[in-house]
């Protein structure tokens, strides 16, 4: 499977992840072997960054930025970037490093994580806040900020007259989300 | 770059070192951007968690890769397997017999291939056998030696070796059936495909067929 069919691309845009699974299985062995052999990482790290690359591939397709090139080298290049970044990130001071957040979310039942306690509470509040939004707001925030679907495409998907209406609705929804997050954080402190 | 592009490039690990420093400065001085980045990073991580658990589930149904098989063994175990395989590979299989009276009837390519095999010129033997295969279907004996020569030559073609032995294994009546089973096991070991090698070696031992003691010895390493 060197290239994606137009049908697969359209399905991914609609949120169907099955074609991504096919791509992942088709290139997993090659990419992990190349990363372990040539980039000297562990198999666990190789597996992780190849999965990261699948997420990036998904985003690029959803955002209309994927030019149907050779999938194998595309995935490997992204995985290599992710691998390099894994080592770089510890030195950086940006808030809520997605890698750390993901570690926290995945190991929640087990041990602790590298996020501070207050950061963990914030992660929980943001995700709960999204759930609490409900209705149209939840749909807009989920598809745009969570799934990464551009507003232009979302205007059509959600049957908005034009993008400006959607933009102002989104802006109100974000405000609402922030209020919920604050409320949830205050509740936790009490 | 607009704010959206900065965030996307950051989440996708596409920022250069210089851009990352610049982005850090932007975030440090813009509270709204910092808050947006926080929410987006959390969403991104949560989506990643869900996607990864789906992909993990797919991997569980997939057979392990050769790399995963190899990584299940320690370096010492791998070395021991390699040495054991080499011990058996050094002992070259005896050359095909050609009765003196039959020489005149034997195809020229096959004759050259036999002499090449006797003189350990495996690549030349491969060329002759491949040439012969263009003219007519190879006999089981010729397929067997083609498999061996592909395996023995200076740069072994293990995939092609396996293909030849699989052809023989498809015919249970072949007089080279047992030999093919043994050599295909060695080929799979060479490829680090322990699962397939093990399957054939276990069959050899269970059926007490040719080289069953050697097969039993190899199994102790797997």
Identify the three-state secondary structure at position B86.
helix
For residue range B187-210, what is the model confidence (pLDDT) as tens digits? 998 887 888 899 999 999 999 999
CB contact under 8 A, B58 and A97: no
Of B20, B23, B43, the CB nearest to A146: B43
Give how far A23 is from chain B: nearest CA, Å: 10
Residue B35: list chain A partners with CB under 8 A.
Answer: 178
Mean pLDDT of chain B: 89
Domains of chain A (ranges; CATH) run 6-92 (1.10.1740), 98-189 (1.10.10)
CB contact under 8 A, A96 and B37: yes
CB contact under 8 A, A81 and B44: no
pLDDT at B43 over 60: yes
Average pLDDT over every residue of B8-18: 90
Q: Which residues 127-166 on chain A approach chain B with CB closer than 8 angstroms?
A: 127, 130, 145-148
R_g of chain B computed on alpha carbons:
28
Question: Touching check for B219 and chain A: CB below 8 Å?
Answer: no
Instruction: Quote the pLDDT of residue A160.
Output: 92
CB contact under 8 A, A55 and B48: yes
Identify the three-state secondary structure at position A96.
coil
Instruction: Quote the pLDDT of residue B102.
Output: 58
Q: How far apart are CA B88 and CA B190, in angstroms?
A: 12
Contacts of residue B193, defined as CB under 8 A and 6 or more positions apart, other chains included, come to: B66, B69
pLDDT at B13 over 50: yes
Range name among A145-159, B28-42, B84-98, B113-127 with the lowest pLDDT average: B84-98
Helices (H), chain B: 3-11, 17-29, 31-61, 66-71, 75-90, 108-118, 122-135, 140-152, 158-169, 177-190, 194-206, 212-219
Q: Which residues 64-123 on chain B approach chain A with CB closer than 8 angstroms?
A: 65-68, 71
Q: How far apart are CA A145 and CA B177, in angstroms?
A: 61
Interface predicted TM-score (ipTM) of this complex, two decimals = 0.92
Q: How far apart are CA A57 and CA A148, in angstroms?
A: 12
pLDDT at B100 over 60: no
pLDDT at B99 over 70: no
Instruction: Quote the pLDDT of residue A110.
Output: 46
Residue A84: list chain B partners with CB under 8 A.
Answer: 13
Confidence of residue B136 (pLDDT cuts 50, 70, 90): confident
Instruction: Quote the pLDDT of residue A108.
Output: 57
Instruction: Quote the pLDDT of residue B190.
Output: 85
Mean pLDDT by 10 residues, chain A (190 residues): 84 91 92 85 90 96 87 93 77 76 76 76 95 92 94 93 94 95 84
DSSP string covering A147-175: S---HHHHHHHTT-S-HHHHHHHHHHHHH
Domains of chain B (ranges; CATH) run 1-45 (no CATH), 51-219 (1.25.40.10)
For residue range B47-65, what is the model confidence (pLDDT) as tens digits? 999 999 999 999 888 777 7
Q: Are B169 and B184 in contact (CB under 8 A)?
A: yes
pLDDT at B31 over 50: yes
Predicted structure pTM score: 0.66
């Amino acid at each position: 499977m060197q290239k994606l069919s137009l049908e697969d691309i359209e399905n991914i845009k609609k949120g169907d992840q099955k074609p991504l699974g096919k791509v992942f299985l088709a290139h997993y062995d090659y990419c992990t072997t190349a990363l372990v052999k040539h980039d000297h990482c562990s198999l666990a790290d190789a597996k992780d960054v190849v999965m990261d690359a699948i997420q990036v591939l998904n985003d690029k397709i959803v955002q209309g930025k994927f030019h149907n090139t050779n999938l194998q080298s595309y995935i490997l290049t992204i995985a290599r970037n992710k691998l390099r970044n894994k080592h770089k990130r510890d030195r950086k001071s940006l808030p809520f490093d997605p890698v750390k957040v993901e570690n926290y979310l995945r190991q929640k039942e087990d041990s602790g994580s590298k996020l501070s306690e207050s950061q963990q509470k914030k992660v929980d509040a943001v995700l709960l806040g999204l759930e609490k939004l409900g209705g149209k707001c939840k749909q807009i925030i989920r598809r745009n900020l969570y799934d990464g679907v551009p507003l232009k495409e979302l205007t059509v998907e959600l049957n908005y007259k034009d993008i400006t209406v959607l933009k102002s609705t989104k802006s109100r929804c974000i405000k609402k989300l922030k209020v919920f997050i604050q409320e949830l954080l205050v509740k936790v402190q009490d | 770059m607009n704010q959206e592009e900065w965030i996307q490039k950051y989440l996708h690990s596409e920022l250069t070192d210089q851009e990352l420093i610049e982005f850090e400065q932007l975030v440090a001085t813009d509270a709204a951007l910092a808050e947006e980045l926080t929410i987006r990073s959390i969403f991104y991580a949560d989506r990643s968690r869900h996607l990864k658990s789906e992909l993990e589930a797919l991997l569980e149904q997939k057979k392990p890769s050769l790399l995963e098989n190899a990584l299940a063994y320690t370096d010492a175990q791998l070395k021991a397997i390699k040495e054991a395989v080499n011990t058996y590979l050094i002992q070259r299989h005896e050359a095909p017999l050609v009765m003196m009276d039959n020489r005149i009837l034997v195809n020229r390519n096959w004759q050259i291939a036999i002499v090449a095999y006797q003189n350990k010129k495996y690549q030349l033997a491969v060329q002759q056998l491949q040439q012969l295969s263009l003219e007519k279907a190879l006999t089981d004996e010729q397929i067997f030696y083609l498999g061996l020569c592909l395996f023995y030559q200076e740069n072994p073609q293990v995939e092609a070796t396996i293909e030849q032995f699989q052809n023989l294994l498809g015919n249970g009546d072949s007089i080279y059936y047992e030999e093919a089973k043994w050599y295909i096991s060695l080929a799979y070991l060479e490829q680090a495909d322990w699962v397939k090698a093990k399957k054939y070696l276990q069959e050899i031992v269970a059926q007490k067929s040719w080289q069953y003691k050697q097969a039993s010895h190899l199994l102790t390493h797997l």
